[in-house]
Amino acid sequence: MKYWNALNLISGFGPKTFSKFISNFDSMEHVWKASRKELAGISLNSYKIDFFLNKKKAINVDLEFEKLKKYNVKLINILDDNYPCLLKKIYNPPPVLYYLGHLPQKNDFCLAVVGSRKHSVYGRQICEKIIPGLLGANIKLISGLALGIDTLVHKISNKHKRRNFAVVASGLDSINPLNNRSLAQDIIKNQGAVISEYPLGVNVRPANFYARNRIISGMSQGLIVIEAKIKSGTRITASHALEQGRDVFSVPGSIFSKYSTGSNELIKQGAKCVLKVNDILDEYELIIRSDLKIKTDKNAAFNLSTEQQKILDLIDFTGRHIEKIAQHSNLNIERLLIILTELELEGLIEKNQDIYYKKIRG
């Protein structure tokens, strides 16, 4: 393993180069000690060979491996049986994964949940409503430890003592953002893991997030988007998920909210629309298990705000047009749409194509 780590320290040795190593050498130690002629024999260009032979002079293989032990970082390579099986099947899977804690087990059912770094109150409410239901179905959640929706995913999972996993865009000796380092420790305490393809000493760079996002989706059966702008890392993760053949789910938001432009567009392009947690669970024929039930899941008592209750009281079981609701609520249309969506997510009302809302419970 120390030679896998040493080779991964050479910038420019990505998944394609490692694939050549695996196909043509019997071990990574053999690669490390290979002659120029042997390296040329696997179609490495002369520039890359010169770069490697020069760079490896400054790398102490044993010392670098000891650094991993110092930080309690574990290492797994793509040939290991415990390497995440779904990730192994994507285009250009990372040849090496570094992790703190415990990787997902083979029988774990994992979904990724991502969203805006600057979420709205609505985004928080969605997380507090949907995530407990997913946890109650024994789903293990994966996100990116970023600020915003990612943070909520991990915090809610940790609050309920559920294993969850964070994939980061730097070496595990410099986990970012700084504000979430204690959150990372909580993930590890809950038998989850903080995971990276980057060796120690690699700091965050913009390009790393793009690469990191393919791992978040690649480790998961499907991806759930909770608030995203049109141009965002969340949309990039969704693109990776589609390329990898993963299911993509998206929670709709107000057409007036900048935080929902991307998630609404995903639905328009074919992502599965999520109005309640069962929209996800039914896709996989999963149920919320009684022994894992969480108080805040869909079976919990509804704790409506004054505004929500006011709007619910304006809607009957036969249906009411949104203009009539707006007229009697004295709310602006943006705020009204947010509340109506919240009530839909609670399973209290439903909307038909003519913008009529009708009460279905409560």
3-state secondary structure the chain: CHHHHHHHCCCCCCHHHHHHHHHHCCCHHHHHCCCHHHHHCCCCCHHHHHHHHHHHHHCCHHHHHHHHHHCCCEEEECCCCCCCHHHHCCCCCCCEEEEEECCCCCCCCEEEEEECCCCCHHHHHHHHHHHHHHHHCCCEEEECCCCCHHHHHHHHHHHCCCCEEEECCCCCCCCCCHHHHHHHHHHHHCCCEEEECCCCCCCCCHHHHHHHHHHHHHCCCEEEEECCCCCCHHHHHHHHHHHCCCEEEEECCCCCCHHHHHHHHHHHCCCEECCCCHHHHHHHCCCCCHHHCCCCCCCCCCCCCHHHHHHHHCCCCCCEEHHHHHHHHCCCHHHHHHHHHHHHHCCCEEECCCCEEEECCC
Q: 114 and 234 in one domain?
A: yes
Residue 105 lies in a domain: no
Work out the pLDDT band at 361, boundaries 50, 70, 90.
low
Domain hosting residue 322, numbered range? 306-359
For position 49, what pLDDT does the model report? 94
Q: 13 and 162 in one domain?
A: no
200-217: per-residue pLDDT in tens? 999 998 889 999 999 999
Counted domains in the chain: 3
Higher pLDDT, 361 or 260: 260
The answer on pLDDT for 23 being more than 50 is yes
Q: 176 and 56 in one domain?
A: no
Residue 101 lies in a domain: no
Comparing 72-86, 172-186, 296-310, 343-357, which segment has the lowest mean pLDDT? 296-310
Higher pLDDT, 283 or 294: 283
Work out the pLDDT band at 86, boundaries 50, 70, 90.
very high
Work out the pLDDT band at 287, boundaries 50, 70, 90.
confident
* Segment 256-268 mean pLDDT: 91
Residue 37 lies in a domain: yes
Boundary (domain end) residue, out of 250, 265, 292: 292
The answer on pLDDT for 324 being more than 80 is yes
Q: 161 and 260 in one domain?
A: yes
Q: 252 and 282 in one domain?
A: yes
Q: 204 and 324 in one domain?
A: no
* Segment 270-284 mean pLDDT: 94
CATH of the domain at 127: 3.40.50.450
Boundary (domain end) residue, out of 252, 268, 292: 292
For position 191, what pLDDT does the model report? 96
Q: 264 and 204 in one domain?
A: yes
Work out the pLDDT band at 267, boundaries 50, 70, 90.
very high
For position 302, what pLDDT does the model report? 53
Q: 211 and 148 in one domain?
A: yes
What's the mean pLDDT when you consider all of the chain? Answer: 91
For position 362, what pLDDT does the model report? 57
Residue 43 lies in a domain: yes
Residue 277 lies in a domain: yes
Q: 231 and 146 in one domain?
A: yes
163-180: per-residue pLDDT in tens? 999 999 999 999 989 889
What percent of the chain lies above the pLDDT cut of 90? 69
* Segment 58-62 mean pLDDT: 96
The answer on pLDDT for 296 being more than 80 is no
* Segment 122-147 mean pLDDT: 94
The answer on pLDDT for 303 being more than 70 is no
Q: Please give the model's pTM, rounded to 2 decimal places.
A: 0.80
The answer on pLDDT for 299 being more than 60 is no
Residue 100 lies in a domain: no
Q: 152 and 248 in one domain?
A: yes
Residue 147 lies in a domain: yes
Q: 236 and 143 in one domain?
A: yes
Q: 167 and 237 in one domain?
A: yes
The answer on pLDDT for 72 being more than 70 is yes
For position 353, what pLDDT does the model report? 65
* Segment 326-351 mean pLDDT: 85
